[in-house]
């Protein structure tokens, strides 16, 4: 609440919204509660994505082409309903490369600000190359869902960790990538160390993990200039991490960089 009163910008780089075909009767209520909670936390820009039908008519992490289109349309509608407050990622499934390129072109023409890759393909897969190349040409970041379970594969969700994303980033040095939710979906201690020398990968702090030492290792391995604040599906842990950052005695300017300045630069926002 205090953050809100200061009027300092706060960009959530990893938000999600629902829509009427996601199989949940309370979809509109949940969208409204995200906006309301964001107001209380002090969020000035939600950068969000919709993952197809959220599993209703095709898998969450392997959305069918029609569901990709429906989800992106819903995302653009939300952005139009909340001008400036809600911005959208174009979600694509790289297994349908032609559709992915067409959706990105369409979305960027409609003021979407980034590309979201869920877990339809491992991050180092060659199928991601045309997508990464186009994002680089257009100067929009690519948010890659990171996920690995170390001991097993999970059906319907291709594993990807920082090493996979670093391989893609090395092939596309002119493209900026974001490793999604360091607080969710994998071994953050491993991922952070793997990104220390990868300058075109940023780290989003979202996800429901709030392990002790996580933020400290983010600062140590990646540094404040490559950290972006975010929430993901659950918002309370994002808020907790924000409060922790406020209490950590960061170097001068670091909190502002993490809260909004770096995101504003990457996504070309005017928060
Ligand atoms: Zn997410």
Q: pLDDT, tens digit, for every residue of 211-261?
A: 999 999 999 999 999 999 999 999 999 999 999 999 998 999 999 999 999
Ligand 1 centroid vs 185 CA: distance in angstroms? 10
Ligand 1 centroid vs 50 CA: distance in angstroms? 9
Res. 268: pLDDT tops 80: yes
CATH number for position 229: 3.20.20.140
Ligand 1 centroid vs 237 CA: distance in angstroms? 13
pTM higher than 0.75: yes
- Burial class from Cβ neighbours inside 10 Å (0-12, 13-18, 19+) for residue 57 reads middle
Ligand 1 centroid vs 229 CA: distance in angstroms? 13
Domain that holds residue 37: 2-265
Residue 270 lies in a domain: no
Closest Cα to residue 34, out of 209, 233, 184?
A: 233
| pLDDT the model gives residue 6 | 59
Residue 271 lies in a domain: no
Structure tokens at 199: 């300058």
Residue 104 lies in a domain: yes
β-pairing, 142-144 vs 177-179, is parallel
Element (H, E) at 227: strand 227-228
Ligand 1 centroid vs 217 CA: distance in angstroms? 21
Ligand 1 centroid vs 118 CA: distance in angstroms? 8
Residue 38 lies in a domain: yes
Ligand 1 centroid vs 15 CA: distance in angstroms? 7
CA dihedral 76, 18, 85, 48 (to 10 degrees): -80
Based on the structure, what is the number of domains in the chain?
1
Residue 162 lies in a domain: yes
């Amino acid at each position: 609440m205090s953050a809100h009163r200061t009027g300092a910008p706060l960009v959530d780089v990893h938000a999600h919204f629902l829509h009427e075909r996601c199989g949940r009767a309370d979809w509109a209520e949940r969208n409204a509660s995200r906006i309301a909670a964001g107001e209380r936390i002090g969020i000035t820009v939600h950068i969000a994505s919709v993952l197809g039908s959220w599993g209703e008519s095709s898998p969450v992490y392997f959305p069918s082409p029609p569901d990709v289109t429906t989800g992106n349309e819903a995302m653009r509608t939300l952005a139009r309903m909340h001008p400036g407050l809600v911005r959208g990622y174009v979600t694509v499934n790289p297994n349908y490369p032609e559709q992915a390129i067409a959706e990105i072109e369409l979305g960027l023409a409609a003021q979407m600000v980034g590309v979201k890759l869920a877990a339809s393909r491992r991050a180092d897969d060659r199928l991601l190359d045309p997508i990464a190349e186009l994002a680089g040409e257009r100067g929009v970041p690519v948010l890659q869902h990171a996920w690995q379970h170390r001991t097993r594969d999970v059906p319907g969700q291709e594993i990807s960790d920082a090493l996979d994303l670093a391989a893609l980033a090395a092939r596309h040095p002119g493209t900026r990538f974001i490793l999604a939710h360091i607080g969710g979906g994998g071994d953050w201690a491993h991922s952070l160390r793997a990104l220390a020398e990868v300058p075109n990968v940023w780290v989003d702090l979202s996800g429901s993990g709030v392990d002790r030492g996580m933020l400290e290792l983010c600062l140590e391995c990646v540094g404040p200039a490559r950290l972006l604040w975010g929430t993901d599906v659950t918002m309370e842990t994002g808020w907790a991490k924000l409060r922790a950052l406020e209490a950590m005695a960061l170097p001068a300017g670091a909190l502002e960089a993490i809260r909004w300045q770096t995101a504003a630069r990457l996504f070309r926002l005017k928060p």
